[in-house]
Amino acid sequence: MFVIDDRFRGLPAAREQVLLVHQSINSPHLAIPGKPAGPAQAFVVGLRGASGFAVFIYLFLSEARDCAVYAPSRRGTSLEETQQHEAEALAFVESMGFMMDNAHYASLSTAQQDELLKSLPVFYKDPKLAPGPRTRADDKRTASTNLGRLLASF
């Protein structure tokens, strides 16, 4: 159902076009044909376009600042079909070793949606221009570092 499409380097989209966002909470080591092997982060993104709905898989190779985009072999015509494609995409990336987390995009405020789109490499035209993705582990390290600095100041 999903095949690598080398035409894509990113999936820039307007906030209104984005239906769903899932991102991995881990970074397994991957070897993708034609790309340098290394730690990767996965994103499953659902987009609304003029010809219907599509679910994409975006793999970001953080060390190489490169990506691989898996495009659907067919577009969805309904939200029910899109939900089925979403489940297939999640199963596909989980089979590669990714643990996925739903960003609950639709329930975020407009400002939070805009911030999310700016923070994820999947929404940039070129992965080299994107900020490195943050994980919950990064957030925990930042919190631990801040706590350590606070305690050290005493």
Beta strands in the chain (DSSP E): 2-4, 18-24, 29-30, 38-49, 52-61, 66-72, 100-102
pLDDT higher than threshold 90 for residue 152: no
Rounded Cα–Cα distance for residues 37 and 27 (Å): 12
Beta strands in 65-142 (DSSP E): 66-72, 100-102
Please, are residues 47 and 17 in contact by the beta-carbon 8 Å criterion? yes
| 139 contacts: CB under 8 Å, gap ≥ 6 | none
| 56 contacts: CB under 8 Å, gap ≥ 6 | 8, 11, 44, 45, 46, 47, 69, 70, 71, 72, 89
Percent of the chain predicted with pLDDT > 70: 85
Which tens digit of pLDDT belongs to each residue from 110-150?
999 999 999 999 999 988 887 754 555 444 545 555 555 55
Average pLDDT over residues 6-29: 94
pLDDT value of residue 118? 94
Confidence of residue 30 (pLDDT cuts 50, 70, 90): very high
Confidence of residue 99 (pLDDT cuts 50, 70, 90): very high
Amino acid at 23: Q
Question: What average pLDDT does the structure give for the chain?
Answer: 86
Which tens digit of pLDDT belongs to each residue from 60-82?
998 999 999 999 887 777 888 88
Average pLDDT over residues 24-33: 93
Q: Residue 78 CA to chain centroid, in angstroms?
A: 22
Angle at 144 between CA 142 and CA 146, to 5 degrees: 70
- pTM confidence score: 0.81
Q: What is the DSSP letter of 134?
A: P
Please give the torsion angle defined by the CA atoms of residues 30, 36, 41 and 47, in that order, rounded to the nearest 10 degrees. Answer: -110
